[in-house]
Amino acid sequence: MKKFVALFITMFFVVSMAVVAQPASAAKYSELEEGGVIMQAFYWDVPGGGIWWDTIRSKIPEWYEAGISAIWIPPASKGMSGGYSMGYDPYDFFDLGEYNQKGTIETRFGSKQELINMINTAHAYGIKVIADIVINHRAGGDLEWNPFVGDYTWTDFSKVASGKYTANYLDFHPNEVKCCDEGTFGGFPDIAHEKSWDQHWLWASDESYAAYLRSIGVDAWRFDYVKGYGAWVVKDWLNWWGGWAVGEYWDTNVDALLNWAYSSGAKVFDFPLYYKMDEAFDNKNIPALVSALQNGQTVVSRDPFKAVTFVANHDTDIIWNKYLAYAFILTYEGQPVIFYRDYEEWLNKDRLNNLIWIHDHLAGGSTSIVYYDSDEMIFVRNGYGSKPGLITYINLGSSKVGRWVYVPKFAGACIHEYTGNLGGWVDKYVYSSGWVYLEAPAYDPANGQYGYSVWSYCGVG
pLDDT single digits (tens) 307-364: 999 999 999 999 999 999 999 999 999 999 999 999 999 999 999 999 999 999 999 9
Task: Name the band, by pLDDT with cuts 50, 70 and 90, for residue 30.
Answer: low
Distance (Å, rounded) from C-alpha 156 to C-alpha 81? 16
Going by the DSSP 8-state scheme, the letter that residue 110 receives in this structure is: B
Asked if residues 102 and 191 have their Cβ atoms less than 8 Å apart, the reply is no
What is residue 28's predicted lDDT score, i.e. its pLDDT? 53
Q: Look at residue 10 and tell me whether its pLDDT is greater than 70.
A: no
The average pLDDT across 181-210 equals: 97
Q: Look at residue 14 and tell me whether its pLDDT is greater than 80.
A: no
Q: What type of residue sits at position 36?
A: G
Q: Look at residue 4 and tell me whether its pLDDT is greater than 70.
A: no
Lowest average pLDDT, out of 11-25, 102-116, 234-248, 383-397, goes to 11-25
Q: Where are the beta strands (DSSP E) in 215-332?
A: 220-223, 245-247, 267-269, 307-310
Core vs surface per residue 221-233: b (16+ CB within 10 A) or e: bbbbbbbbbbbeb
Planar angle of CA 304, 310, 316, nearest 5 degrees: 140
pTM assigned to the model: 0.93
Domains delineated in the chain: 2-139+197-361 (3.20.20.80), 367-457 (2.60.40.1180)
User: Taking each helix axis from N to C terminus, what angle separates 271-283 and 254-264, rounded to the nearest 10 degrees?
Assistant: 140
Model confidence over 426-458: pLDDT tens digits? 999 999 999 999 999 999 988 889 999 999 999
Distance (Å, rounded) from C-alpha 139 to C-alpha 64? 36
Distance (Å, rounded) from C-alpha 377 to C-alpha 369? 8
Task: Name the band, by pLDDT with cuts 50, 70 and 90, for residue 399.
Answer: very high
